[in-house]
Chains A and B, each alone.
Chain A
Amino acid sequence: MAAVPDRPLDQATVTECHLAFSKMLERYAWAIVRDWSLAADVVQTSFIALSRFGGDVAPEARKSWLFRVTHREAIRVRERQKPYNQTTPLATSAVFETHATYEVSPLSRMAAQEDVEELTQKIDCLPPEQHQVLRLRFFENKTFAEIAQLMQIPLGTALSRMRLALERLRSMSNELED
């Protein structure tokens, strides 16, 4: 007797999940594939999978299920692309350009710009040693080992300063997510 492959989930639940998790999953997928277009494709595939096979996934497990599917799909898509070279510096200047194609409205782009302004101000309020680590890492694209060497501090201290800086900035990023 042939097994029935599809275990469909009702459309309303899929929509609800999409509203709740799609943005987060898209960012997650981007972290792996580094392309907003591909990330959107990955998330779309994940929700199609949820729609077709998510019928027997417990409601409390749906988010984890979506993350797992998105992870696998993102890895698959990344491997299908040209090999990802870890030593090549990221084309970070293109991060926003690519993402801009996904912005649904100029208003959201303006809001993102305002968020950046706010974050920039917040960066200014960081203690000098944390500010310097951020500057060296994000602008001068130095590794933490290089930063530690430059600042004549242990690698752990450089990482710790970064961690502290991120903690202070996290409240801002929480607002950005909302």
Chain B
Amino acid sequence: MTSKNDPQTNRTNEHLEAMLYLLDDPALDREAFEARLADDAQLGEILAQAVTTFQALQAASFKPNGIAQGSVARRTSSVLNALPQWQFLSVLAASILLACFLGWQTHFEMRSGLADNGSNNVVLAWGDIQSAVLDHQGTREVSEFELENALAMSDSLPEMDVPEWLVIAAADTAEGFELDDRKVIIQ
């Protein structure tokens, strides 16, 4: 394919020849090329350099969005443009589901506690009231409800009368119950 008469031109063509050699392309006389390789370190360097390019091209062409399917940059940008819409919808749906789940879980745990134990039943209910008071004051959200914190904070709240429904709710306890440091006796 080339002669050795014009070094300048040949060095340019040798990059192509090296690639043809790596590609096993029949357009190149492999034996002649290898014979030249044996005595020409510069050609060897060109071949070594071509291996790097060859590998990178192979890797690029084997990528799913590589040169085989047209413009990588355009496709990448179109994917990126499409992403926010998907992401937004996904995050929105996940947030709604999570909120529903957390709300349901909190509600379920409270209900389970009420069914299990009369004292807990009343304590939780009392905590619920305090939480509701705090919610009313705009200082807390229902999702942040924690019984211990609510009870601890109750010390700073003004004294409240025990409502009638709370007494009724605790009626299944024989001796009454303790709420904070106050003893409530069921009549």
Instruction: State which residues 53-84 of A face B: CB under 8 Å.
Output: 63-64, 67-68, 70-72, 75
B73 adjacent to A27 (CB under 8 Å): no
In the assembled complex, the Cα of A37 lies from the Cα of B71 at a distance in Å of 35
Assess whether B138 is interfacial by the CB under 8 Å rule. Answer: no
A143-B67 CB under 8 A given contacts A68-B38, A71-B44, A119-B57: no
Which of A24, A139, A166 is close to B53, meaning CB atoms less than 8 Å apart? A166
A27-B67 CB under 8 A given contacts A86-B30, A163-B16: no
How large, as a class, is the contact surface on chain A? Answer: 35 or more
How large, as a class, is the contact surface on chain B? Answer: 35 or more
Interfacial chain B residues near A11, Cβ < 8 Å: none
Interfacial chain B residues near A139, Cβ < 8 Å: 61-62, 66-68
In the assembled complex, the Cα of A170 lies from the Cα of B21 at a distance in Å of 17
B34 adjacent to A75 (CB under 8 Å): yes
A contact residues vs B (CB 8 Å cutoff): 24-25, 27-28, 30-32, 63-64, 67-68, 70-72, 75, 86-87, 89-90, 92-93, 95-96, 99, 112, 115-116, 119-121, 123-124, 131, 134-135, 137-140, 143-145, 155, 159, 162-163, 166-167, 169-170, 172-174, 176-177
Interfacial chain A residues near B39, Cβ < 8 Å: 68
